[in-house]
Each structure stands twice: as structure tokens, then as C-alpha cells.
Amino acid sequence: MRGLAKWWLWSFAAVLAAQQPAPEAAAPEVVRRTHAWSPATVEALATLPVQEGGRVKPLSAHAAATLHLVHGRRDMKLDTDGDGKDDLTLTPTEWLLDVWFFPEVAAHYPLFRIENVEVLDAIGIPHEGGQRFRLEYVSFAAMAAPGRVGVPGQKLIELAHQYSRKQPLDRSPVESHLVNSAQQVNTYYDLHYQMEVLRSTFPIEGEPLRAALGEVESLDFAALLERLPAFRTLLRENSDKLEDPAWAGAARLGAALQQLSGSDAGAALFPPTGSVGDSEVWLGLGGVLDLGVRGDIAAEKLGMVRHLQRAIVATEQGPRERELVQFRDAVVARATARGEYAKVELENTYLTKSWHYQALHWFLLAIVVVGVGWLAPRKRWLWALGLVATAIPLGMLTWDIVLRCLIRERPPIVNLHDTFLFIAAVGVAAAIVGEVIVRRRFVIALAPIFGALLIALARAFEVEDGKDQLAPLIAVLDTNYYLATHVTSINMGYAAGMFGALVGTLWLLLQAFGIARHDQAFHKAVVRACYGIVAFGLIFAVFGTIYGGVWANDSWGRFWGWDPKENGALLICIAQVALLHARWCGWVKDLGFCVGAALTGIVVAFSWFHVNLLGIGLHSYGFASSTKSALFWYYGIQLALVAVGWFGTVMRRVGAAAAVPAAVPAGD
Amino acid sequence: MMRSLRPVLLALVVVPACQREAEWSPPQSRSAEQRPTNWDATTRDRLGLPDLRGTTSGQAGGAAAGLQFAGSAPTGWSEQPAQPGRFRDRIWTIGGAPDVECYLTNAVGGGVQQNVARWFGQFGIRDVKPIEALPVVEFAGKPGRLLELSGSFQGKAGYAMLLAFTVAGDSVTTLKMTGPEADVAAHKEEFLALAKGLRAASASPMPEAPPIERGQPMPDGHPPIGGDAKRDTMPPPQPFAAEVPAGWQPVAGTQRLLHHSFGSGGEVYVSQLGGTMRAMLDIWRGEIAGAGQLSEAEFAAVPKVPMLGGQAHLLDVAGDYRSMGGKQIPGGRLLVAAIEQDGAIVFAKLFGTAADVEAQREGFLRFCATLRRNP
Amino acid sequence: MNGPAAHVAPPVAPSPLRAVVDLLASMKLTIVLLLAFGVLTFAGTLAQQHQGLFVVQRDYFESFWVVWDTQMPLPLGRDLTLKVPLLGGYSILLALFVNLVVGGVVRHRWNWRNAGILVAHLGIGLLLVAGWVKLHYSYAGHVALYEGKSTRTMVSFHDFELALLRRDGDRVVERTVPATAFEVAARAPRSVTLDAPDLPFQVVVSGWLENCRPQQKGPMFATDMPVVEDGQGAWFLQSVPPEKERERNTAGCYVTVIEKVGRKEHKAVLHGLDLRPFAEERSPFRFEVEGTTWGLDLRRVVWDLPFAVRLDRFEKSDHPGTMMARDFSSWVTVFDGAAEGRPVHIYMNHPLRSHEHVFFQTNWGPQPGSSMKGPPWWSVFEVAKNPSDAWPKYASYVILLGLLVHFIAKLIRFLNSSTRRATLPEMS
């Protein structure tokens, strides 16, 4: 039904937008935004609880996730004065309020990122040759305005329907882009029309209908909801008369209500009146109508609808915000009574504070502090300062992870996004401990780089993935025991593998470029650290891998199925076991060990991410393409560094041996 | 492992020979509980093939297609000749209760929700109970649901209805008994026994293969990797089929049947609703601005076109179109071919800009004429 | 395993036997095998993109050797297509096991210093043994039940068998042949003849198809496949390309029953469609010989359970407002002696373990998005009979213990060692 309504409404949207002349080329659109939300209102609405994706969350989180999804960014930058430069930045909450309350204005915001000129051609959006003249972001209005080949949005969805029948791996980049963009347009479409019913009026035609519902020409949505009991009675008592022409108005209203009721898209805004035990499912406007068609609506819910409707139809910003905040307060009161509000504020705070983002900055600062420490190697206080500078963001990052655990009531890792943060924290923590033991400064030098890099990757991944990273779990994952044991353990293995690769690479480069080459003890310490990290990682990788099998045996009936993810974990174990055995039997010495440890990083990356991309195409285009290219970049860089390190080390040794035949090389 | 090698070894040893002797395992006796066996299946039944009669005979609505029920009537009940044209594939009457009608309808399309709504509608009840709330009964060897309604039925007060149904895809198979409340109550046990005792004499393949779909995401329980875990690639079976003119694009993700789009914003689909023809025609006319309701004479003069083995009313109105869903087509035109079958109205509806509709009219009429129910 | 000494052969001239044992105990062999295993795992993982899990598991990981068809896309747009022979998983793991036992345990120095390593090796050994036992002595299938229904059998996911049934009052007397025997009959005109001295007929199986659908032949079209007429119509099998997910395939074949006396023939098309849980009965091809009723049924392999299971209730809940399952679970009654049975709750990650069989909640139906709607629900259990079911869990504890003991001991030694103190930098 929703799909259908959408389909119909497209041409409706086209009519709306037809009043705007279609641009000849995608010239910079000047956004006429005449209103502004007061900070207090935005703050209050940020903690409006809504139900979406199977959980109750703050509006700020819903807005951020939706903006991520449709826009690929966390904020909306606007050019309001037409000078070609962005001069206003909206938070996700402000943007969502704009879409709900000023859909015609928000429809002109530069929204959908189109990266390929062929996509614009395919859907008939004009552009200037092949130049990237602000082509990246296409507004919803442009999607809905009639173009060269019909309405671009409609064309887009038609094409996407066509290509979505292909396996994701078989789609061309343009086809994938079209499918992806269609999903974004669809999502936005729901948002654009979510409040439409509150702007509508329902004609009251025919004498019998007027007699029952009041002598009015038409009713707005809230008023109609109030009169639904009377309408129900009317229909029930006169079911045999509905064919009478005098009753056509009643029949038509009934049919219209039937079509509207239950058709909801987007977040559900109205909590059920009873307790969570009675009903968990929140309602949208269609759901409320459906409730009213079947039985009576509680006065409380009617009140919420009335506030929201008044806010929607208000002509001035003051009354609009007042009603909106009253709506918010009513929902918060109900959600609090239902025990669903406790985590909403926590999550909003989590999002606002964004501890891991702050940690990223502090890690960058720590890189500088540690770097300064290197200039004065004998200053103990500088060394200590480096440790502290790294420990501060580690604390922030850990707090961020703890908050995520609290919000979800889950162990630290339940999805891929979590792995970045967790691995960053474990790697940095282990490095601080290692530094205290080894006191060689190089471990602490790598720690903030490692931390900053992984947090940056986490943020990139979040945008790429475009999903709610705090979403509830599918049934098979509903086990805190295995999430805490297997998942945590295997990720500690990943962390150690990556950090080991970093240390191994460091040693190779130190050797190759002859840095601190007279300090043999220092070089030895680096190798030792590398060995320790690999051994540490092996314990967790092996236990995590086998315990994953134990979990699989409990939930799927087989311990080991040679599934890509299992194989990836196995490859890490094999690489580390082989490396350690090679070291023990003397096949490799320092050079070989560090080369092996550095290459293990590639195995870890393959297991951590790449196996997910091989698969049976479940993954969105964005994820697949850019994560894959990021992975290949990493493989290339890591291989190049190993090659340079190995070649440089060997050449240096050959040179040293030639110069001083008696000299004993440091490694093998 | 050895198992996988066996063919290779066999190939090496046996290649020259054309035939190979394989061995039966020693005979073992098994109980009926261990090996429930139907010794009397027809070949069609055994191979799980649908009965093709519906489509080959071109019977009205193809209602005779699908399941044939083999069951015997309770004592005191007598079976009457079937009326497949009225969707009554088996009919029983009860001695001493002349007003009671009981009949079996095989696999009628339209989806369970619409059918349930229609049944409630026959009693003038808008407050449709969710299907989950209905009690489970055994119907033709499968779990089915029982619907009990009472009130005013087709203008007759004090009536009741017992209706057992099973669902397969979009089609619903029903055993329905209507009559005066007292009579229906008195024969409820027999009705339930009949429902239970009916057997499919010919099983059509189930809409869903047995659930061996193990494509669950990440079986070893890894964090979800994003994306919807599974997407049905197979469309649900369509209860209707028809010749679709070239140029109509199927609409995906729709609840409508044979839903297509054409031209700029034009759409066409098939659906089924409760109500009467007269009221429905007026409701559709209401979607075109200014097209008032039909007078008695106008209603009588509505042209007829062939559809589903009968003569369907053809509504053809032009003007600014606005659907109940809010879709607007200024300068539009609406074509609806509607026919009453088994208390429901089956209709094909086409709308779009006047020019588009004119271009599609021929195709639409052919579409209606070739419309048939799938087995 | 602290140094090369553990694996180095003594300097005296070795006997041939000794040389073999030395080789088997060698740590270098360990590394070679591990690298081979790594390459195989990598290859097998990539191959799953084209061949599907089942085939790869059989051809790569349960075989002695395999030819890896690389089909690897290269960054420059061309595919790397090589055929690389690799050792299969069976050979590698067998060799690793021998190497582990001989080198890692028997020849290892048994002292406290090595205790952790020894224990870890024992754990790995146990894991490999568990895998071997599972491969050879376990089988798995599924049970699908509607609420209120019970069963005494489980059904294979992948494998088919041909069953010959003799009607014996209410009971049946059955003989079976696994369908692997018919694969040679996939190419016409090959066929497989089944005979037994005490049977009054032979059964000839031909036209074997791994995946197919039966068709009724109409008068208006021709087919290359053999057509069987039986008075009710004309029937044939239409081949369908095999699916990557092997459980989606439905096999079929043609059978001819030839009576030994009189050479009378009964021909039929068989199709292995399984409609559980909708249809519990099987409908065999029926024929009469000398007054006895016989049946032939091509079916997914059926195993009898040592107990009966009844599904009493299935429950699932979704995350509110979505169609994403939050949890789903089944309440069943197990009848294994006591008349009234015992109730068991089976849910995600909590299987039923009874009489060497394990029941896992794996699925249910109708699924959201399918054309049917529940309730009524059916519940699907994966059922495994695996003698080594719990061994990997024990192995994981043993290995963890071993590794922890070893590396913690090493760390303590390192922290106390003079080397560390010597390498610590001086700071002021």
C-alpha cells in the first residue's frame, strides 16, 4: 500500500514542484529559509522519544541516522544568500524539523549526493557537461520537477526497480548508484510526506454525515479523530444504506479513512497508552487513525495529535514552537511512565558529547606530544607526559564504549562499527601497558596514531554504512554471553594482529633507513614487542575462533562450516601460529619475523572486512565499493612498506657486510 | 570425504561398463507413524503438479482449478451439484434446515485480508478482527481458522455464519455455512467435522517450498554486516493472469495485483472489493472531479465488456483525476472494468492522462478479456 | 617448544625409520603444512563466491586434493584465471595431526617449562579428532512441524535416497539405496539396475537429474526428455540448473520396474519434492506385482529418531514496529519412554540434547515477506547426530589454558630477565 501511494504521489509531487521552473543546469540553488528554530526548542526536541528500527531513541539520533542515510553527512550546509558559499549549518534535528514543518523549503536543500554524471543523464537532470559544478547534491525539488525524461525521481525509482533485480555484484557502478540513490529518495519521500495528513482536511458531504459529525464543510485530522466514534456508530447502524446516493459522502469518507489508516512510514511518534507489557509498538498518524477506526482513542493521544497538528498548521514560529514543545512534553511523560525514556536522554547526551570524536582530537594532540618527547629522549617527564596525553583520549574512548554498552545493554561489540572503537581502545591500552614495561617510546609513539586512525575509520564507516549503529540485534545474536566471550576475544585478536603489523612495519623501516642503528638494544626491544604482541594476539585469536565454533554449535548445530567469516578467523590463527613456529625453529629471525608480522596485518584486514564483501551480496553499494577500495589501498600500502623495509634492510646489511666483513648483523 | 571420493573411484573402475549394480539395503519394517504413506495418490498428486483444467477449459474464473476435495457429508446432509460459476465447488444442504447454505470454495484470490474484510462486510461489520485472533481449526488436513459471525446477513436479520478457511499464498479456500442463527448453531459440530474430514484429492504445490531456507545471515553468529538479511527474489504467486500489453511496466513492491504503470504517471491494476456494483461505480466516479453519481438510467446504460467469463461494467470517465490516496492527474481519464463474483467485485482499473488512456484503451480491453484466475 | 632443539634430530646417522619419524616430528613440516592450509583456506573462501558453500566444503576441505580455479578479479579489470593444484583439507589436517602427535607431544620435552605448549597441543589434537569423528560419524538434517504435530523422523537437507516400499498392512517394509549411486545415470543412455534375489522384479533407474521439476506433457509441445504415459497423463522431468545452495535442489529420475516373470514393465517419473511441514505423507509410485503392493519413492534421506517430538507451541516476537525477529522459540514434548513425555523449551543458542541427537531452533514459517501469514506457525529444527558434539568446547578450554600458562610464564620470565633490564633506557 505504501509503495503504491508513493507511486501515485510522485506525480502529485511533480505538480507541486512544477510551480518552480525547472533549472536548465544544476546551478547553485539559493535556499529561501525564512524561519529559524530557537535553540531551546531544538534542544527539547532532540530528546523527543520516537520508535524506529525496533527501538525507542531520541529524535536527534533518528534525525542523524536519516541525514546520514540520505545525505551522507552529519550536517546540512546551506547557501542562503546565493554567494556560492555555504553560510548556514543545520544540525540533524533542525534539518528534520525543517522537513516536517517546511517541506517545500526543505525540498530545495542540496540533499542527494550524485557522484556520477551518467546517473544525472539517466534520470534526466540537466548538468553542465562533465564538470563538477556543484553537481554532487541534488535537491528533492529537482527530483520531483518534470525534467527531460519525465520526473527524475520517478525515473530513478523505475530504473532502480529494474536494476534491483540484478545481483548486487552484477550491477555496474552506475546501476548500483541508481539503486542506492533510489533508496535515499524513497526514505526522504516518506519524511517529506509524513506530516501531510495533518495539513489535510476531510470533506463532510451529505446530510447524514453532517448530522452525525457536525454541520461543517470539512474537518481537520484531529477533529476527525475525535468524531470517529460517532462515525463508526453511524456506519454500523446504517450499513444497509450506504448504497443510497445521499450516503455517498459517508461511503467516500470511509473508503478514504480505510486507505489512510495503518499506512505509516518513518518513525512512530505516538507511544501506546498502556504499559510496555500491553503493547510495545508505537504508532504513526496512520496507526492512530487505524486505532480510532477500530475503537476509542485515549484523550492523551488525541491531545498529542492536536498539539502536533497545531504546530504543523501554525503560521508563526512562536506558537508553532510552543505547541511542538507541548507535544514533546506529552510524549516524554508517557514514555517516562512506560519506562522507555531512561536511555533517550543518555543517548542524546552520547550523541552530543561524541566522546570518541573528542578522543580523536586528543589523540592527534598526543601524537604531537609524543613527537616532542622523541626530540628529548632522556627527559623522563616528557615520556610520562606522552603517556598521559595518550591515556586521556583512551579514557574518553573507553567512556564512549561504556556508554554504548549502557544504552544497548550489550557487551562492547555487536556490529562492525563497534569493532573499530573497541580495537582502537584495546590497542592503545595494550600499548600503554607495553610502554610501561619496555620503556622504549616507540610503542607509545604508535599508540595515538593507531587510535586516531581507527576512530577516523569508524566515522567513515558509519557514514558509508548509513545505518543505526545502536540498532537492536537479530535473534541469533541475542546472547550476551557469546557476544562478550567470542566476539570480544576475536576482536582482541584483530587488535593485536593490526598493532603487531604496525610494530613490525616500524622495525622494518627503522632498519631500512638506518634510524637509531647504533642502538642495537632498541631494535631488539622493538622485535621483542612485536613478538609479544603476536603471541598475545594468538591467544585471543585462537580462543575467539574456536569459541565462535562453540557458539555456532549451540545455535546452528555445527561447530565449523568453512563459512567465509570462520575461514578469515582461521587464517589469522594459521598466520600467527606459522610465524611463531617459524621463529621457534629458527626459520626466521628478526627480519623474517617482522616481515611476517607486517603481512599478518593484511590477513587480519582480509578477515575483519574483506570476507564480508565476498559474500552473497547483502551489502549496499556504498559499503561494498568504497570499503573494498580502502582495503585494496591498505593491502597495497602495507605490501609496499614491507617491500621497502625488506629491500632496504637487506641492502644495508649487504653494504655493512662489504664494508666491515667481520660485523655481525643484528637480525638474520 | 570418502563419500566424495567414491564417484571418482567408481568412475575409474566402472567407466567401461554401461551399467552398474547398486544394492538395496536389507528390508526393514516401519510403522505408519514412521512412514506415513499415501498409497492412492494420483500421478499429478505424487508429482505435486497443479491441475491444469482451469486454464485449459477456460471456465469462468477458473475456480474449478486447484484442489478437489474428497470428503463425505455428515449424516442428514446431502450434496448438491456444484456451481463453479458461483465459486461453489461443493454444495451441501441439510434436511430440516432449508435456509442453511453450506458450500466449499476452492482457492479464491484476493488475499486473506480482503476476504476476511469482505466476510465481515457481509454482516455490515466494519470492525474487522485480526486473523490471528480467530480460533484454529483443522480444515482439510491443514491448520485453518474459524470465523463465526452473526447479525444481519444480506438484509436477513438473525443470521449467522460459520466459515473455516485456509490460506495458500493470495488464495483462500473456504467452507462456509450461513443460515438462521439457531440452525447454524445446531449444526456447528457437523460443520466442523466436515471441515476436518475434507481431504485434498489432488494437492497443488504449496506456495512456499518446505522451509529449508537456511540463508540466515552469518551462521557463526557474527555481528550483522548490514543490509537486509534476505530479500525474497521470488514474487508471491499471482492469483490472476492476463495478457499484458507491451509498454506496461510492472510496479514492484505493490499490494495490487497485476499492477503496472504506463505513460506519464498512468497506472493499471486488478483488485477485489466488497460492496455493490452501483456504489462502487459511484465511488470510482467520485475520483474524477465533476463526475456525479450515476442515475438509474445511466447505470443501466453502462456498457459491458467481457471479463472473467462474464460481462463486466465498463466505467469510462474523463476529467481532473484525484484518487483517494491523493494522487492527482489534471486532465485525466479513468477506465474501470468491474464484475461481481461470489459477493465480491473484481475489477481492473486504469487511469492516467487522457492521451495516455486513449492510447491504452484497446490494450486494456484485451487485458480484461484475457484476465483469468491462476490455478 | 622454546627453541630449535625440540625438533632437531640427533647427529648420529639415522635409520630410515628414524628419518621418517624425524620428518613427521619436524617443526618445519608444521610450517609447510600450515602455509598449505592457509593457501587452501584462502582459495576455498574465494571459491565460495562461485561454487557455493556445500561444494567447496566437499571439494576443498573434505578432500585429499583439489584444483583451485582462481577466477580472481585483478585491479586492472582482467581476471586471474589459473588452475592451481592444492592439497585438500583432509590430507593437510591428517598430516598436521600426525605431525602434532609425533612432534608436538611424543617427541616434545616433557618438562614444566613446556607444560603449557604440551597442553595446547593436546587441545588442538582433540579438536582435530572431533572434526574427524564429526566428518565420518555424524549426520544432520531437519524437522519441520506445525503446532500440534509430532514426528519420529528427521530429513536430510541435501541427500536423496530411493526407497522401495512393500505394503504390509498398516506398516511398510522398506529398502533404500543412497542417491549417490544414481549419479552415473545422469548421462543417457546410462542406467543403474537394482536387484535382489528375493525380489520378483528389477528396478532400472535412468535419466538422473540433480535438480529438476516434473511437467505434464501437453499435446502442443515437444520435449527432448523421455515421456512416461500412465493412463492419467504423460509426464516428464525438466532439468533445472543446480543451485549454489544445494538444499534447494530437488532430484528426479525415471524408473522402470521389470518383473522377473513375464518381463512386464512398469514405468514412472519420480521427483524428490518434500512438502513438509504441509504434507506429512509421502506418495510413492505404486505398482502391483504378484498380488503384492509395492511403492518407489525418491525422497530426501530419512532417519528415524530414537524418540518422538511434538511441537506444542511456537512463539516469536519482533523488535517493536519492525519485521525483524527478536527471538523465536519452541515448546516441544519429547516422548522417549514415559507415556506423557517431557516438556522441553528449545530456543536460539539453547538446543535440546537427547539420545545423542541435538535439536536446534533454526527457522520458522511463514516468514515475513512470504505470501503466507502466520499463525499458525511451523517451526524448523536442525537436528544433528554427532558423537563429538561437545568436544570442541572442551578443546577450546584446554587450548586456552595451555596458551595462557605458556605465555604468562614467558612474560614473567621476560619481566624478571636480565635482558629486559639491560635494554631499559636510562631516563632522568
Distance CA A306, CA A312 (A): 10
Q: Distance (Å) from the C-alpha of residue C221 to the closest C-alpha of chain A? A: 30
Residue range B249-254: average pLDDT? Answer: 66
Structural domain contains residue A478: no
Q: How confident is the model at residue C369 (pLDDT cuts 50, 70, 90)?
A: low
Length of chain C (residues): 428
Cα distance from C377 to chain B (closest Cα, Å)? Answer: 9
Q: Is A473 in Cβ contact with B224 (below 8 Å)?
A: yes
Summarize pLDDT for A413-444 with one digit per residue, the tens: 888 889 999 999 999 998 898 888 877 778 88
Q: Does residue A605 belong to any structural domain of this protein?
A: yes
Q: Is residue A651 part of a domain?
A: yes
Q: Looking at the 3D structure of chain A, how many domains does it have?
A: 4
Chain pair A-C, CB pairs under 8 angstroms: 190
Chain A residues 98-157 within an 8 A CB cutoff of chain B: 150-151, 154
**Is the CB of B37 inside 8 Å of chain C's CB atoms?**
yes
Mean pLDDT, residues B134-149 taken together: 82
For A38-91, how does the pLDDT look when each residue is reduced to its tens digit (9 = 90+)?
Answer: 999 999 999 999 998 889 999 999 999 899 888 888 889 988 877 778 888 999
Residue A619 contacts B, CB cutoff 8 Å: yes
Q: Which of A419, A423, A355, A359 is nearest to A390 (CA)?
A: A359
Query: What burial class does residue C427 get, using C-beta atoms within 10 Å of its C-beta: 0-12 exposed, 13-18 middle, 19+ buried?
Result: middle
Position B230 scores a pLDDT of 27
Q: What is the pLDDT of residue C310?
A: 93
- pLDDT at site A101: 94
Verify whether the Cβ–Cβ distance C360 to A557 is below 8 Å: yes
Inter-chain residue contact A55 with C395, CB threshold 8 Å: no
Boundary (domain end) residue, out of A305, A321, A344: A344
Q: Do the chains contact at A54 and C61, CB–CB below 8 Å?
A: no
* Per-residue confidence (pLDDT) for residue C309, from 0 to 100: 93
Region C85-107: mean pLDDT is 89
Tell me the average pLDDT across A26-31: 57
8 Å CB contact between C83 and C69: yes
Q: Is A339 on the interface with C (CB under 8 A)?
A: no
At residue A113 the predicted structure's pLDDT band, cuts being 50, 70 and 90, is: confident
Count CB pairs under 8 A between chains A and B: 159
Most confident of A433-442, A503-512, B201-210, B239-248: A503-512
Which residues does C110 contact at the CB level (< 8 Å), separation at least 6? C118
Q: How does the average pLDDT of chain B come out, rounded?
A: 71
C residues 97-136 closer than 8 Å to A (CB): 127, 130-131, 134
The verdict on a CB contact (< 8 Å) between C349 and A542 is no
| Among B12, B37, B115, B167, the residue to mutate for chain C (most C Cβ within 10 A) | B37
Q: Are strands C212-216 and B90-94 parallel, antiparallel or unpaired?
A: unpaired
- Pairwise CB contact (< 8 Å): B253 & A236: no
**Extended beta strands in C339-409, E state:** 342-347, 352-354, 357-365, 378-385
pLDDT higher than threshold 90 for residue A599 = yes
Structure confidence at residue B204 as a pLDDT band (50, 70, 90): very low
If asked whether residues A147 and A10 sit together in one domain, one would say: yes
Which is higher by pLDDT, B48 or A590? A590
- Evaluate the CA torsion angle B111, B112, B115, B121 in order and state its sign: negative
pLDDT value at B274 more than 60: no
**Contact B257/B270 with Cβ under 8 angstroms?**
yes
Please indicate, yes or no, whether residues A164 and A312 belong to a single structural domain of this protein. no
- Average of per-residue pLDDT across B88-113: 77
Q: What is the mean pLDDT of residues B312-330?
A: 79
A626 pLDDT higher than 80: no
* Residue A209 pLDDT > 90: no
A187 has a chain B CB within 8 A of its CB: no
pLDDT at C176 over 90: yes
> Does A51 reside within a domain?
no
Of A299, A324, A344, which residue sits at a domain end?
A344
What value does the mean pLDDT take over residues A110-133?
A: 74
Q: Which amino acid is at C424?
A: L
- Average pLDDT in chain C: 85
Distance (Å) from the C-alpha of residue B360 to the closest C-alpha of chain C?
Answer: 31
Local structure of C281: helix, strand or coil: coil
Query: Does A274 lie at the interface with C, CB-CB under 8 angstroms?
Result: no
In CATH, what number does B45-200 get?
A: 3.40.1000.10
Which H/E stretch holds residue C257? strand C252-259
**Neighbouring subunits of B (3+ Cβ pairs under 8 A):** A, C
Which one, of A265, A264, A267, lies nearest residue A55 by Cα? A267
ipTM metric: 0.84
Mutate to test the interface with A, among B4, B127, B214, B225 (most CBs of A within 10 A): B225
**B132 close contact with C: CB closer than 8 A:** yes
What are the tens digits of pLDDT across the range C281-314?
899 999 999 899 999 999 999 999 999 999 999 9
Q: How far is B94 from chain C (nearest CA, A)?
A: 31
- Same-domain pairing of A131 and A176: yes
- Those residues whose C-beta lies under 8 Å from the C-beta of residue B148, and which sit 6 or more positions away, are B160, B161, B162, B163
C-chain residue closest to A264, CA distance? C321
Q: Is the pLDDT of residue A658 over 50?
A: yes
> Nearest chain B Cα to A475, which residue?
B221
> Domain range for residue A223?
202-344
CB atoms C175 and B207 under 8 Å: no
Say if residue A126 is in the same domain as residue A222.
Answer: no
Average pLDDT, chain A: 83
> Which chain A residues are closer than 8 Å to B328 by Cβ?
11-12, 15
Same domain, A419 and A497: no
Residue A484 resides in a domain: no
Residues 206-265 of C with CB under 8 A from A: none
Task: State the pLDDT at residue C364.
Answer: 84
Say yes or no: A99 and A189 in one domain.
yes
pLDDT band of residue B18 (cuts 50, 70, 90) is very low
Q: Are residues A388 and A503 in the same domain?
A: no
Task: Copy the grid coordinates of residue A87.
Answer: 553560510
- Name chain A contacts of B233, Cβ cutoff 8 Å: 165
Report the pLDDT value the prediction gives residue A573, as an integer from 0 to 100: 94
pLDDT digits (tens, 9 = 90+) for A367-424: 999 888 888 777 788 888 989 999 999 999 999 999 999 998 888 888 888 999 999 9
Residue-range domain boundaries for chain B: 45-200, 240-373
Work out the pLDDT band at C257, boundaries 50, 70, 90. very high
Pairwise CB contact (< 8 Å): C196 & B24: yes
**Cross-chain Cβ contact C194/B10 below 8 Å:** no
* pLDDT tens, position by position, B34-89: 899 999 888 888 887 765 433 322 222 332 333 456 667 777 787 777 665 566 77
CA distance C25 to C96: 10
Q: Taking CB atoms and an 8 Å cutoff, what residues of chain C touch A378?
A: 425-428
Please identify among residues 295-314 of chain A the ones whose CB lies closer than 8 Å to any CB of chain B. 295
Instruction: Give the pLDDT confidence score for residue A617 in this predicted structure.
Output: 32
CA distances from B138 to B164, B174, B198, C148 (A): 9, 12, 10, 11
Q: Specify whether A28 is located in the same domain as A173.
A: yes
Residue C349: pLDDT band by 50, 70, 90 thresholds? confident
Mean pLDDT of A255-268: 76
- Does residue A20 surpass a pLDDT of 70? no
Q: Does B41 touch chain C (CB under 8 A)?
A: yes
Closest CA to A602 of A640, A558, A657: A640
Answer whether C378's CB lies under 8 Å from C275's CB.
Answer: no
CATH fold, domain B240-373, is Jelly Rolls (2.60.120)
Statement to judge: residues A191 and A209 lie in one domain: no
Question: Whole-angstrom Cα distance, residue B205 to residue C275?
Answer: 8
**Would you say C115 and C102 are in contact if contact means Cβ atoms under 8 Å apart?**
no
Asked if residue A560 and residue A521 are part of one domain, the reply reads yes
Q: Could you tell me if residue A265 is inside a domain?
A: yes
> Rounded to whole angstroms, how far apart are CA atoms B16 and B30?
39
Which site among B220, B231, B259, B356 would you substitute to test the A interface, given the most A Cβ atoms closer than 10 Å to its Cβ?
B220
Which of the two residues, A626 and C298, has the higher pLDDT score?
A: C298
pLDDT at B226: 28
Prediction pTM value: 0.69
| Contact across the interface for B142 and C278, Cβ inside 8 Å | yes
Long-range pairs for C31-35: beta carbons < 8 A, 24 or more residues apart: C31/A578, C31/A581, C31/A582, C31/A585, C31/A587, C33/C92, C33/C95, C33/C96, C33/C99, C34/A574, C34/A577, C34/A578, C34/A581, C34/C96, C35/A574, C35/A578
Indicate yes or no: CB of A474 within 8 angstroms of CB of B224: yes
Which of A526-540, C100-114, C174-188 comes out lowest in average pLDDT?
A: C100-114
What is the pLDDT, as a whole number, of residue B132?
A: 74
C34-63 residues touching A, CB cutoff 8 A: 34-35, 37-38, 41-42, 44-46, 48-49, 53, 56-57, 60-61
Are residues A145 and A207 located together in one domain of the fold?
no
C-alpha cell recorded at residue C23: 620428518
- Residues A615, A535 share a domain: yes
What would the pLDDT profile of C212-247 be if each residue is shown by its tens digit? 888 877 654 567 788 898 888 888 898 888 887 788
Q: A562–C400: do the CB atoms touch at under 8 Å?
A: no
Question: Whose CA is closest to A324, among A76, A102, A88?
Answer: A102
User: Chain B neighbours among A 388-447 (CB < 8 Å)?
Assistant: 413-416, 418-419
* pLDDT band, residue A480 (cuts 50/70/90): confident
pLDDT band at C128 (very low <50, low <70, confident <90, very high): very high
Most trustworthy range by pLDDT among A86-90, A159-163, B15-19, B167-171: A86-90
Task: Show which of A322, A344, A366 is a domain's final residue.
Answer: A344
- Is a pLDDT exceeding 50 seen at residue B146? yes
Q: Report the percent of chain B where pLDDT is more than 90.
A: 9
Domain for residue A668, yes or no? no
Share of chain A above pLDDT 90, in %: 35
Q: Which residues pair with A244 in a beta bridge?
A: none
Confidence band of C206 (pLDDT split at 50, 70, 90)? very high
Q: How confident is the model at residue A4 (pLDDT cuts 50, 70, 90)?
A: very low
